[in-house]
Chain A
Amino acid sequence: MLKYIIKRILQAVPLLLLITLICFTLINLAPYDAIDSITTPDMSKAEIEAKREAYGLNDPLIVQYGRWVVNILKGDFGYSLLSHTSIKYDLKIRIPATIKLVLPSYLTAYLLSIVLGLVAGSHKNKWPDKLIDGFCSVGISMPTFWFAMIVMYFFGYKFRLFPLMGMHTIGLEDSFADFMKHFIMPYVVLTVGFLPDLTRYVRGSTIGQLKEDYVIVQQAFGAKRTEILFKHVGKNVLIPLITKLGMALPMLVTGAVITETIFSWPGIGSYFVKAISAMDYPIVMSILVLSGTLVILGNLLSDVLYCLTDPRIKTMK
C-alpha cells in the first residue's frame, strides 16, 4: 500500500512540473510586461532597468523557472507584483475562508444527494424520480451566477434578510451570528450548484445496482423495500461515491471561484480573479500549482479510499 502511494506520488511530480512549465512559458509569452506592474510612470529608464534586474526579469526563461521552482519547494510563493504582499501570507488567510464556505456546502450536497439519488433511482419513472431528475436537469443547465443573482435579488434587496457582500461586517469579526448571516446565501447557492451532478450520479448507480442478483435474492427472502434500498443497495452505491469525495479535494481551493466573486467572499476564488485581471502572475502561478497538486493528491486519495472500501480490489498495480 505504502509502496503504491509513493509510486503514485513520484509519477505525479513530472506531471506537475510539466504543467507549471507550460503555464510559466505561456505567461511569459503573454503580450504584457511584468515590469509594468512594478514601475510607476514617473520612473526613469535607468530605474526601470534596475528594477528589471532586481526582479530577475532579464534572465533567460529557464533560469527564472528554475528559481521559481526552488522557491516554491522552500515554501516561498513570492510576492504579489501589485500589492507587494507575501502570497504565502495572503493564502494563509484566504484558504480557510474558502474552506469555510466550500466544505459545509459540499457535505450538505453530498448527503442530500445520497438520499435524493436513492429515492429517485428506486422509483424509476414514477413521480418522485421525475421530480428529482427534472430538478437535476434544470440544475445542471443553470449557471451558478444566475442563481446567485436571483437569490441576491430576493433575499438581499427585496426582503433585506441577508447582507450582500463579504464574510463579516466591519467591527463584528468575532460575531458568529454575523458570520452566519453572510454565510447563508453563498452556502445555499453553492450547495445547489453541487447537488444535481452528485444526485444524478447516485441515481444512475442505484438503478444499476437494483438490477443485480443480490436484490432479487433479498426480494425472494421477503425483505422490505426500504431495507433492501438503504441496507444493501446503499452500501454498494456508496463505494463509487467515496471516490468522488477524493476528487472533490481540489474544490476546497477552486470550488467556488464564481460564487466567491459574486458575493465578494474573501477566499481563493476572488483572489484569483483579481490577480487574473491585474496580470499578477506570481499569484496566478501559485494558485495553479496549488490546485494542480490538490487534483493529483485528490485522485490518489480516491484510489486509496476505493481500495479500503471495496475488499474485491486487493491487487494494486
Chain B
Amino acid sequence: MKKRNRRLENVVYEFKHNKQAIFAAIYLCVIICVSIFVVFVNIDPDAIDVVHKLEFPSSAHWFGTDDMGRDYFIRVLYGGRVSLLVGVLAMVTSITIGVTVGMMSGYFGGIVDNLLMRLVDVFSSIPWIIMVTVFGLLFKRGLFSIIIVIGLFSWMGIARLVRSEVLSAKEREYVQYARFIGRHPARVMTGHVLPSIFPTIITAATAEIASAIMMESALSFLGIGVAAPMSSWGSLLQGSQQYLQKAPYMAVLPGILIILTVYSFNKLGDVLRVFVEPKITAGEKNE
C-alpha cells in the first residue's frame, strides 16, 4: 500500500485554499521568468535619448523615461535581475554559513557549541544596518561584495534554528546508531542529520531571500549598494528621489515590485511552514 504523505497533503491543501499563496506562486514564476528572459527583448536598457528625458508614461515608454531618456520599464526589469540575484545568492551564502555553524554547534556540543554561540551573540549584538555599512566600506563596491556582506550578517537566526533542530535530530535512533558504529562525524551530519532538518532550512531560505532583497534595497538607497552602471530596484529608487517632484512615476514601479516580491517570498515561506510544523496548521484549520 502506498504510504500517504500527510505533510505534503497539508501543503497542497494550504495552496489550494489560500488565494494569497496562489497569487504569490504565480507572481514569483512570472517575475523570475521575466527577469531571465528580458535580455531577449530588443530594447537596450542603457540607450540614452536626451531629447525624450523625464517623459511621462506613454505608449512608446510604458513607464516613462528617466533623467537620461532611458526607457524606465525596461530598466526596472533589468533592475529586478540584480535584486533577485542578490536575494538568492545572499540567501545561499547565509544559509551555508548558518547551517554549517548551527550543525557543528548542535552536533558537537560542549566547548565548540559554546564558542560558536558566543560568535553568534557577537554578530547579533550590533544592528545589521551598522554592521553592514561598516563592512560594505571594506570591499570594493560591486555585486559580489554586496552579496557577501548581506550573507555575512544574516546567518545568525538560521544558525540558532538549525542548532536546535540538530539537538533533537541527534537523539534519533538512526543517528545514534550511525555514531555508534563509528561513522565519521562529517558523514553522519551530511548523510543523516542534514536530510531530517532539510524542510526547516527550505522554509528559512525563502524568508531569507525576502529579507536579503529588503537589505539590498536599503543599502542601495543609502548609496552603498550596487554601483552606478548596474541598477537594482533599490538604486533605481535612490535615483528617482531627486526627480520626485518632476517624475513621481519613477518611484512607483520599483517600490511596488519590491513589495510584491518580498510579500510573495514571505507568503511562500508561510505555506512551506505547514510542511515543517504540521501541528500548528492542523490546529488552525479546525477552528
Q: Which residues of A contact B (CB under 8 A)?
A: 15-16, 18-19, 22-23, 26-27, 29-32, 124-125, 137-138, 140-146, 149-150, 152-153, 157, 211, 250, 254, 257-258, 261-262, 272-273, 276-277, 279, 284, 287-288, 291-292, 295-296
A287 to chain B, nearest CB (A): 7
Does A150 contact B126, Cβ atoms closer than 8 Å? no
Q: Which of B96-104, B105-113, B169-177, B259-267 contacts A (4 or more CB under 8 A)?
A: B259-267
What's the Cα separation between A18 and B118 when bound, in Å? 11
**A291 surroundings in chain B (CB, below 8 A):** 126-127, 130
Q: Told that A15-B125, A143-B221 touch, could you supply 4 new A-B pairs with CB distance under 8 A? A: A19-B126, A146-B259, A149-B240, A153-B245
**B255 surroundings in chain A (CB, below 8 A):** 142-143, 146, 149-150
Does A277 contact B134, Cβ atoms closer than 8 Å? no
Please tell me if B217 contacts chain A, counting CB pairs below 8 Å.
Answer: yes
Q: Main secondary structure on chain A at its contact with chain B?
A: helix
A159 to chain B, nearest CB (A): 13
Please tell me if B214 contacts chain A, counting CB pairs below 8 Å.
Answer: yes
Q: Which of A18, A143, A157 is B244 in contact with, Cβ under 8 Å?
A: A157
Does B267 contact A137, Cβ atoms closer than 8 Å? yes
A interface footprint on B219-256 (CB within 8 Å = 1, 0 otherwise)? 00111100000000010010011001100100100110
Q: Do A276 and B137 form a contact, CB below 8 Å, given A15-B121, A146-B255, A292-B125?
A: yes
14 residue pairs A–B, Cβ–Cβ below 8 Å: A26-B138, A27-B138, A141-B262, A141-B263, A142-B259, A146-B251, A146-B255, A149-B240, A150-B255, A257-B130, A272-B133, A273-B222, A292-B126, A295-B126
**B224 surroundings in chain A (CB, below 8 A):** 276-277
A interface footprint on B112-148 (CB within 8 Å = 1, 0 otherwise)? 0000001001100111011001110110100000000
Does B125 contact A19, Cβ atoms closer than 8 Å? yes
Q: Which of B125, B244, B259 is A138 in contact with, Cβ under 8 Å?
A: B259
Please tell me if B210 contacts chain A, counting CB pairs below 8 Å.
Answer: yes
Q: Do A125 and B135 form a contact, CB below 8 Å, given A149-B237, A288-B126?
A: no
Chain B residue nearest to A257 in the complex (CB): B129
What's the Cα separation between A32 and B287 when bound, in Å? 61
Please tell me if B218 contacts chain A, counting CB pairs below 8 Å.
Answer: yes
**B138 surroundings in chain A (CB, below 8 A):** 26-27, 29-31
Please tell me if B274 contacts chain A, counting CB pairs below 8 Å.
Answer: no
Please tell me if B258 contacts chain A, counting CB pairs below 8 Å.
Answer: yes
**A16 surroundings in chain B (CB, below 8 A):** 125
**B126 surroundings in chain A (CB, below 8 A):** 19, 288, 291-292, 295
What's the Cα separation between A16 and B122 when bound, in Å? 8
**A146 surroundings in chain B (CB, below 8 A):** 237, 251, 254-255, 258-259
Does A277 contact B223, Cβ atoms closer than 8 Å? yes
Does A295 contact B251, Cβ atoms closer than 8 Å? no
B124 to chain A, nearest CB (A): 8
Nearest 10 Cβ contacts at the A-B interface: A141-B262, A146-B255, A141-B263, A254-B127, A141-B259, A295-B125, A157-B245, A30-B138, A145-B221, A276-B133
What's the Cα separation between A146 and B125 when bound, in Å? 27
Q: Do A124 and B287 form a contact, CB below 8 Å, given A15-B122, A149-B244, A296-B125?
A: yes
**A144 surroundings in chain B (CB, below 8 A):** 218
Chain A residue nearest to B129 in the complex (CB): A257
What's the Cα separation between A284 and B254 when bound, in Å? 31
Does A254 contact B130, Cβ atoms closer than 8 Å? yes
What's the Cα separation between A304 and B47 when bound, in Å? 60
**A254 surroundings in chain B (CB, below 8 A):** 127, 129-130
A5 to chain B, nearest CB (A): 18
Q: Do A279 and B244 form a contact, CB below 8 Å, given A141-B259, A142-B259?
A: no
Chain B residue nearest to A145 in the complex (CB): B221
Q: Which of B121, B237, B260, B263 is A145 in contact with, Cβ under 8 Å?
A: B237
Chain B residue nearest to A26 in the complex (CB): B138
Does B134 contact A23, Cβ atoms closer than 8 Å? yes
**A261 surroundings in chain B (CB, below 8 A):** 222
What's the Cα separation between A16 and B214 when bound, in Å? 28
Does A26 contact B135, Cβ atoms closer than 8 Å? yes
Chain B residue nearest to A157 in the complex (CB): B245
Quick one: which of B201-225 are within 8 Å of A by CB? 210, 214, 217-218, 221-224
What's the Cα separation between A312 and B140 when bound, in Å? 52
What's the Cα separation between A16 and B283 when bound, in Å? 43
Does A30 contact B137, Cβ atoms closer than 8 Å? yes
The interface centre, meaning the residue of A143, A258, A284 with most chain B CB atoms within 10 A of its CB, is: A143
Does B125 contact A258, Cβ atoms closer than 8 Å? no
**A296 surroundings in chain B (CB, below 8 A):** 125
Does B266 contact A141, Cβ atoms closer than 8 Å? yes
B251 to chain A, nearest CB (A): 5
What's the Cα separation between A132 and B223 when bound, in Å? 33
Quick one: which of B133-183 are within 8 Å of A by CB? 133-135, 137-138, 140
B115 to chain A, nearest CB (A): 12
Does A152 contact B137, Cβ atoms closer than 8 Å? no
What's the Cα separation between A150 and B237 when bound, in Å? 11
**B223 surroundings in chain A (CB, below 8 A):** 277
Does B266 contact A140, Cβ atoms closer than 8 Å? yes
